[in-house]
Chain A
Amino acid sequence: MALKRYVVGCFDDEEVLFPAVKKVRNAGYKIQDVYTPFPVHGLDHALGMRETSLHTAGFIYGILGTTTALAGMGWVFTKDWPMNIGGKPNFPLPAFIPIVFELTVLFAAVGMVMTFCYLCQLAPFVRKHHFHPRATDDLFVMAIECTDRTNVEDLKGFLQSAGAKEVSYQVAESGWWFGRYDVEPKLYREENPVIG
């Protein structure tokens, strides 16, 4: 894990945020992410993010569930322990369909949730740096990663001209670490230098 340098701009209005995202990207800065209090339609397109492959993963998990159910029940009722149930064949497909359906849904749902948690690095005790606590309340927080050539003061001015209400410079862990928010309260006492 490495420490990285960020310039963080906070916006309080979607209408300002979208043109700002466009301006920042056109100026060649690399936006790490935009943290919003609620899902914002079209922001992923504005940020130029690749379409998620989560649904493809879901499809594969579903197929996996289908085959697991069919193979499992098929093996049990034809090879392992054949039983005569109501005179039906040993591999009664219609009777299996509801279970096949359920397992398909179960695999797809659980698999997608776990994949989502993995992709977002969400797990108990996993901690990540919060750029601004109000990102969960009423601010749209844009984090821009600084490179060696980034002039921090220029970037701050640029963000302010794009409509940012608060601008700050933060050095933060880019990845995640183990910890607990209640025993590590430093995050909320952290005071960022505010300009303007």
Chain B
Amino acid sequence: MITRLSLVMRMTVCVLLAGAGAASAQADYPNKPVEIVVPFTAGGGTDLIARLVADYLGKKWSQPLLVVNKPGGGGVIGARAALKESRPDGYTALMDIHTTSSMLMGAWKTPPLKLEDRKFAGRIVRDPMVFAVKADAPWKTFKELSDVVKAKPEELVWSTVGPAGPSRYTAYDWFTQIGVDAVKTKMVITEGAADSMTKLAGGHVMLAIHSVAEAHAMTKAGKIRVLAVLSPSRVKFLPDVPTAEEQGVIKGVRVQWWAGVSFPAQTPDPIVKKWESAIAEMVKDPQFLAAAERINMNIDFLNAAETRAFVEKEVAGYTDMATKIGIRR
């Protein structure tokens, strides 16, 4: 009997050692499943791209890449779990986006996660934002909706993915430009685009602001309608949807959606490099591109150094924007 119990014990110890031994063996990385943390609910844009990447690299490396959703706190809880509360051995990656990096740093004077807390492996997606309403909503154009909100801002109930997410930055830009006091509108904080879109389709909120890819599934299912796209020109996936500028509502584009992969700051460089080159290969593979196109995901690659520079520039932009709209704290 003691042998039987010690078997249980040995199993546990083996499991622990498997974790510890891996850090030293970088050459044959990955030699066990890799976790990709998505700090939002399943079904949002971050989750979709994470699943595409997991599927592609999982096959390439013959190791399962597991997508783990850890929503809450506007993405901060999951991002911290991946970057600060996990072992920096390359077996935990973060699907990093604007909300957990540049926008967070723009909105917080002492952010709960800093740029130095991560090593980027590369940016994979860049996607414009869209304004979406329920399919049977009375407003036909974005202009029409803007006029209604201008007249009665207190009646607008809109959803965001977090206090410092792209929806909030986009909405405040919109409110500022049409002269609406943002405080009068009703903002509902959700746990990610999928959560927010479900609330829109169920009629619990009136407006949701997300990326092209995030609006895709519900638009295709006929549950929601896209009124405007926030982009210099119309996008190929939504040729019939006019831009916000075209409709004379919002000038310029200050907010966009992107996603990349990052690791805890102490992760060994060879592993991050391996990811960087694997991503660079992946974004050229026609099969991967076709899969991304099926979900309206706009692949736009930047390597590790370019990603860092891109995010640093964004931090400056969002800090300025957050200060001006009064959400920097």
A and B held together in a complex: no
Q: What residues make up the interface of A, taking CB atoms closer than 8 Å to B? A: none
Q: What residues make up the interface of B, taking CB atoms closer than 8 Å to A? A: none
